[in-house]
Chain A
Amino acid sequence: MSLLEIRNLHVKAAGHEILKGIDLKVDAGEVHAIMGPNGSGKSTLAQVLARREIYEVTEGQVLFEGKDLLAMKPEEAACEGLFMAFQYPLEIPGIGNAYFMRSALNAVRKYRGIPEMNALEFVPLFREKLKLLEMDEKLSNRSVNEGFSGGEKKRNEILQMAVLEPRLSILDETDSGLDIDALRIVAKGVNAMRSPERAMILVTHYQRLLNYVIPDFVHVLVDGRIVRSGGPALALELEETGYATDEPDAMPA
């Protein structure tokens, strides 16, 4: 059984069809990259998988460890082990970063029938993950993402991933807007999470991240469909040629 299986997924938002039949299988241990031009539906796919409710699934099926993902609420999907790193992480004034992460971790643990962690037990775990992401401990008592730089917000997403240890992580353009140092740190965090039990989907606009996190598969998403799939070499090829040959109007009729 695949960890994630997407079958013929069609999705509408505000009356427009954005995803027009996606098929994708992700097995444990694999890293998939989904690349494509702006507006191709990459972020929509990530958000639908994270169960954002503003999208309307008109056709198709998604199985997460054999369970119907599309019937789950966002919190259920998260507790089942699915994680999405947000393209634009939100600022949540008034909720401390460490408190938020402990609440999230305990929600997941409670769902799985594991005893919750008190603050004392959580602190060493949290420190270790902060260190991995080379983040200042001061950020742990600040409100979630409030006043964080762009790079700190993205690292904070990976920090959450490291704390929650999901089975499937979807990184929605986590590399966009990062300088090379931040990119290296994010990649380190991502690579530390790679394991035979886990899988990842890297949604990205640029090939650069894939120099640091080598994917097993690369898919090209154009106009709501996966038009090409291949190995890591495909990403390099796209870097050279761009998506032009994949654009619908460039394709033979």
Chain B
Amino acid sequence: MITSPQQLTNYLEAFSDFEKSATGHNLPWLRKLRRDAFARFCETGFPTTHDEDWRFTNVSRLAQTPFQLVRTGHELSRSQVEPYRIAGAACQLVFMNGRFSSELSSMPNHANELEISGLADKIASNPKPLERYLGSYLDIGRDAFCALNTAFTEDGAYIHIARGVVINGPICLLYISTGTDTPIVSYPRNLVVAEEGSQVSIVEDYVSLGGGETFCNAVTELVVGENAVLSHYRIEREQKQACHISTLRIQQARSANVASHSVLLGGSLVRNNVHAVLAGEGSECLINGLFAGNGRQHLDNYMLVEHKSPHSNSRQFYNGILDGQAHGVFHGRIIVHKDAQKTDAKQTNRNLLLSDDAQMDTKPQLEIYADDVKCTHGATIGQIEQDALFYLRARGIDEISARRLLLLAFASECLDRMSNDSVRTHVATLTNAALYDAALPSSVSAQPGHEQAALRWNEVG
């Protein structure tokens, strides 16, 4: 417990202020949801590194900073948002410090098939459909940040795709943090319900305007119906002082097919939780990610995949590139419950360390309670392969360009799994820019026999 009584008092004051005036404060179910979540947070406090799930990530800095909740939108013009548009998008919802801005957003034209709104607007106008789903799958007992987000749930995106509807072009959600003199926190809460047989791609793009200490604690719940196909993309490219903790909770019905793609390029302290539950028989899940850090960035990826029914199939692929003094974490947990026979689960984490001071912790964790399953995991940590570098240079490509090509090739393993062309192009542009400087060789000390020293380990279980 690193949460001091003073810190709890701060949160308690903030919560009682918030609770009185928050949208939907008069709805008993929502009031209970918020209160129970806040009570849960008070019981657990912030996690410490003694907590197995947080062993490699120290959040004491977050716990100690007196973040202020901002509930009024910041004034921005459409032209300021323009550079963040993704070509080919079906629509774009813009959130300023967690608050939906209808002026900055462009809404879709599929009124009956697709319902999209700000969550607060939905709570105010027609909260009935929310009651069934909001918070019903999220595990606030295990994660203090999910509890906090739920306690302060008010705005975010609400997306409902009707049965059998196919939405072409991604739905883009842009979250803009604007720094101020005081540290600010936002709690975006998104709920996506994809009914039976529907198909959609959703992009969450997190960016910053200006510097300053910001903390974004986001939760997205995806409820994916039978035989529905959903792709989710999370792009974290906030500025280098931003803290970002997000949880993606995926609930899959029978034969549902979900892909989660995460691209972490920005932020200082970033935690990316993906928790998929393959509840229905024959469901399939791809969890794909790329993280690239430099400076003192800390990028933590915590994956939890639960197989609950027979014949479900999950694939996890995460590639990390770490430069400077960056610290990366990959924690991949797979639970195969006792009825989930014929599960096929695979997990691969590959990492490149570009400097002597970069650090990577990777930890697989398999818990298997069924007896007829296939589960494999493997991890590698290495450096840019000197033989490959020489091969490219021997063909006339200069060293920096050769390093750049190899880094992009490593990143493209993840990009190639993104099925939506316009999102992949968008992500590729961001990745190219982020990795451009990472190819400069200065960060690696040139010692003789360096390539033999390359650490390489493999395990398959």
Chain A contacts to B: CB under 8 angstroms: 50-54, 73-75, 77-79, 84, 86, 89-90, 92-95, 100, 103-105, 107-108, 111, 143, 160, 164
Contacts and interface: CB of A to CB of B under 8 A. Distances in A.
Given A92-B409, A93-B413, A111 B388 contact: no
Contacts of A74: 390, 393-394
Contacts of B396: 75, 78-79, 104-105, 107-108, 111, 164
Q: Which of A52, A54, A74, A143 has the most CB of B within 10 A?
A: A74
Given A94-B411, A103-B401, 5 more contacts: A90-B391, A92-B392, A93-B413, A94-B409, A105-B396
B409 A75 contact: no
Contacts of B388: 90, 92
A143 B396 CA distance: 18
21 contacts: A51-B394, A73-B398, A74-B393, A75-B394, A75-B402, A77-B394, A79-B396, A89-B391, A92-B409, A93-B409, A94-B410, A94-B413, A94-B416, A95-B409, A100-B392, A103-B405, A104-B396, A107-B395, A107-B397, A107-B401, A160-B395
Interface string B396-430: 11110110011011111100100000000000000
A105 B397 CA distance: 9
A90 B413 contact: no
B52 interface: no
Nearest to A77: B394
A73 B395 contact: no
Pick the most buried of B390, B396, B411: most chain A CB atoms within 10 A of its CB: B396
B181 interface: no
Contacts of A95: 405-406, 409
Nearest to A91: B388
B401 A86 contact: no
A73 B395 CA distance: 11
Contact of B397 (A53, A89, A103): A103
B391 A92 contact: yes
Contacts of A143: 409
B393 A94 contact: no
Contacts of A51: 394
Contacts of B399: 73, 75
B387 interface: yes
Contacts of B409: 92-95, 143
B391 A86 contact: yes
Interface residues of B, number: 24
B408 A94 contact: yes
Contacts of A164: 395-396
A144 to B, nearest CB: 8
Contacts of A77: 394
A50 B393 CA distance: 10
A39 B451 CA distance: 22
Interface string B368-401: 0000000000000000000110111111111101
A53 B449 CA distance: 11
A86 B413 CA distance: 25
B438 to A, nearest CB: 15
Contacts of B397: 75, 103-104, 107
Contacts of B390: 52-53, 74
A92 B411 CA distance: 13
A86 B394 CA distance: 10
A71 to B, nearest CB: 15
Given A95-B405, A103-B405, A90 B395 contact: no
A90 B386 CA distance: 11
Contacts of B416: 94
A73 B391 CA distance: 12
B155 to A, nearest CB: 40
A75 B391 contact: no
Contacts of A108: 396
Nearest to B385: A90
A78 B390 CA distance: 11
B406 A92 contact: yes
Nearest to B393: A74
Nearest to A54: B451
B394 A84 contact: yes
Contacts of B408: 94
A127 B404 CA distance: 27
B447 to A, nearest CB: 12
Most chain-A Cβ atoms within 10 A of its Cβ — which of B401, B408, B409? B409
Nearest to A81: B396
Given A92-B388, A93-B413, A73 B406 contact: no
> What are the nearest 8 A-B pairs in CB distance?
A94-B409, A78-B396, A104-B395, A74-B393, A107-B396, A108-B396, A90-B391, A75-B393
A92 B410 CA distance: 10
B377 to A, nearest CB: 20
